[in-house]
Structure 1
Amino acid sequence: MNLKEAAAREAALKTLLDVVEAEYKAARAETRTALESAAETTGVRQVAVTLPDGPDIATVSLSSGEAAAKVVDEEAYTAWVRDHYATEVERRFITAVRPAFTDRLLKQMTAAGAAEYADPETGVIHEVPGVAIAPARARTHSVRFKKDGRDQVMQAWREGRLTAAILPELTAGGAE
């Protein structure tokens, strides 16, 4: 393959990649919305994926998001640490809590599911101001292919079975 042919191939593949990526993102958002709606109304959190006139190739499942402790009010949090754990405060031009201490506290609060810290030395449970348990990872979904699911998708692509039902926007070539 010469330079001109290599460049033409790259440009064509880049165009297809961009179109497929945009369509994938839209399809993923549509799937997540439908899964969330199904989970809310019927409790269904997963669905089998079947090719047109073909076998099951994958399972799409809704996953739960995660919540974690995070500092939401830096001033309130720093004042609390300064009052209760002064050795964990570094004094510079500004007052800041040592990152390692914050990380340790946030991990413990995440595990407890509350913005509270139990001092292991005194047993005192502190309500920690400026920290909240908040979504750390958005709810999402996953696609898990069966052993030969990807191969079956590629075979259906080669045979033209994906065009009408699954990929009409891509195969129409931009025509309305």
Structure 2
Amino acid sequence: MSLKETAGRAAVLQALYEEIGEQLKAAKAEQAAGLKAAKQETGTRQISAELPGGQAVARVTLVSPSPAATVIDEQAFTAWVRDHRADQIKREVVTRVREAFVKSLLAEMTAAGVPQWCDQETGEVHAVPGVAMQPRAAYVRTTWEKAGRDEVARAWQAGELAALVLPELTAGGTE
């Protein structure tokens, strides 16, 4: 392939990628809003994703994660770490808690479901200032059926998705 052909191919793919990306973002937002409403109205958290002919290709699930430990007061948190785990303080012009320790500590608190830390050496349980359990945003997860992606590709190649996905760019679509 010549450089000119490669440049043309890359330009076309970039334009399609950008258009598909915007369409996907909008579709996912609509899907999430619909699943959130369905959960509130009927308790539904999962729906089958089907091709126009009715063949299921995936399951779409609204995932509502449990709250996670989050540092909400950096100064109080840093002061506590300085008093109880000074080895995890990284001294610079500013005092900061080592990122790996923050990640580990918050993961422990998230798993426990409370903003507390248990010192394994002493057994003392500490309420950690500057940390709170914060709700996490629900999100939508797509779980593909075994042959789901292959079926989508087949339907795309057969022109069965022209009216559903980017009709303005596919044969048979409307402008």
Deviations along 1:70-117, one digit per CA (max 9) or x if unpaired, are 322121123333444556556655444455554443333222111122
Give unpaired runs (5+ residues) of structure 2. Answer: none
Note the aligned Cα RMSD (angstroms).
2.8
Normalising by structure 1, report the TM-score.
0.79
Aligned to 2:53: 53
| Change in CA separation of 1:129 and 1:10 when aligned onto 2, cut-off 3 Å | same
- Offset at residue 43 of structure 1 (A): 1.0
Give unpaired runs (5+ residues) of structure 1. Answer: none
Normalising by structure 2, report the TM-score.
0.79
Q: Determine if the alignment matches structure 1 residue 163 to structure 2 residue 162.
A: yes
Q: Determine if the alignment matches structure 1 residue 133 to structure 2 residue 122.
A: no
Contact 2:57/2:145 (<8 A) preserved: yes
Amino acid across the alignment from 1:40: Q
Amino acid across the alignment from 2:112: A
Q: Distance in 1 between matches of 2:118 and 2:53?
A: 59
Aligned to 2:5: 5
- Offset at residue 46 of structure 1 (A): 0.8
Aligned length: 174
- Offset at residue 139 of structure 1 (A): 2.1
- Offset at residue 154 of structure 1 (A): 1.9
Q: Determine if the alignment matches structure 1 residue 116 to structure 2 residue 112.
A: no
Amino acid across the alignment from 2:118: A
Q: Determine if the alignment matches structure 1 residue 148 to structure 2 residue 147.
A: yes
- Offset at residue 42 of structure 1 (A): 0.9
Range that drifts further, 19-28 or 163-172: 163-172
Structure with bigger gyration radius: 1
Q: Distance in 2 between matches of 1:49 and 1:82?
A: 51
Contact 2:162/2:173 (<8 A) preserved: no
Q: Determine if the alignment matches structure 1 residue 75 to structure 2 residue 75.
A: yes
- Offset at residue 6 of structure 1 (A): 2.6
Q: Distance in 2 between matches of 1:3 and 1:91?
A: 52
